[in-house]
Amino acid sequence: MKTCKFMFIRPVLRALQTLTMSDKYNIAFVLGGPGAGKGTQCSKIVEEFGYVHLSAGDLLREERAKLGSEFGELIEGHIKNGTIVPVEITCSLLERAMKDSKKNEFLIDGFPRNQDNLEGWNKQMGDKVNLKFVLFFECPLNVCTQRCLDRGAAGSGRADDNMESLKKRFNTYMTATMPIIEHYESLDLVRKIDATQSPDEVFEEVKKLFT
Ligand SMILES: Nc1ncnc2c1ncn2[C@@H]1O[C@H](COP(=O)(O)OP(=O)(O)OP(=O)(O)O)[C@@H](O)[C@H]1O
Ligand SMILES: O=c1ccn([C@@H]2O[C@H](COP(=O)(O)O)[C@@H](O)[C@H]2O)c(=O)[nH]1
């Protein structure tokens, strides 16, 4: 009789586990230096593979632009100085956007960028997501700089597409973001892409990860 009673437990547990797994958001983080082409490639992935693209920088810029936003000034200061906004703000914006989208597969672009981001995300979102991999667009500083300056000259309107902000952004990237990429490398989650080629050539490499 006893055996009979416990025979059902394992399949029930397995079913529950499957249910929990499928309830999780599937995400890929997208990292790389300023101007490496993260946004450009994310748009192509969205078009071809139907992910939802959430750029942490765009969400912060939107929040900053909201009339009466409690965090507007703080965000503005960080963006101009190329420093990182506290994770509670960024993570809440990301979680809200994920919930609102009613979708399940996300490219999270430009996040996590430092240890505070990583720890805050793991605490708030760790149990709610399945991290597929970290897409890392590798691009030398001089190429990234030129792309951002060209973007500024073409009228991006971004307060940080200028040499002064770029120096600070690169400093943050090297000192705070690279260690996060190395952390994911140690977990064998990083998929490195050479971002120096044309957008279409880069996308040929990106595609291989999604097919
Ligand atoms: N492979 C590429 N070759 C040449 N130019 C590119 C390439 N990819 C993107 N660009 C251009 O470089 C600029 C920066 O690209 P994009 O906005 O995609 O970079 P990003 O990594 O998202 O930047 P940021 O982190 O500053 O938001 C844009 O003007 C874009 O058109
Ligand atoms: O997770 C994030 C993402 C961005 N920021 C701030 O925004 C700017 C611009 O970011 P882009 O990804 O280049 O659009 C960045 O330099 C940071 O100041 C952030 O704090 N946290």
> Where on the phi/psi map is residue 51: left (φ > 0), alpha (ψ -120 to 50), or beta?
beta
Query: Band of the pLDDT at 18, cuts 50, 70, 90?
Result: low
CA dist 144 and 151 (Å) reads 11
What is the sign, positive or negative, of the torsion defined by CA atoms of 96, 191, 43, 49? negative
Q: Which ligand is nearest to the CA of 79?
A: 2
- Going by their DSSP bridges, the two strands 105-109 and 25-32 should be labelled as parallel
Looking at CATH, the fold of the domain delimited by 24-210 is given as Rossmann fold (3.40.50)
- Going by their DSSP bridges, the two strands 52-55 and 129-138 should be labelled as unpaired
pLDDT of residue 9: 74
Question: Best of 42, 54, 160, 175 to mutate for ligand 2, by most ligand atoms within 8 A of CB?
Answer: 160
User: pTM score, two decimals?
Assistant: 0.92
Asked whether the ipTM of the predicted complex exceeds the cut of 0.85, the reply is: yes
pLDDT of residue 10: 72
Share of the chain above pLDDT 90, in %: 89
- Map out the domains of the chain as residue ranges: 24-210
Q: Which tens digits make up the pLDDT trace of 83-124?
A: 999 999 999 999 999 999 999 999 999 999 999 999 999 999
Query: Band of the pLDDT at 6, cuts 50, 70, 90?
Result: low
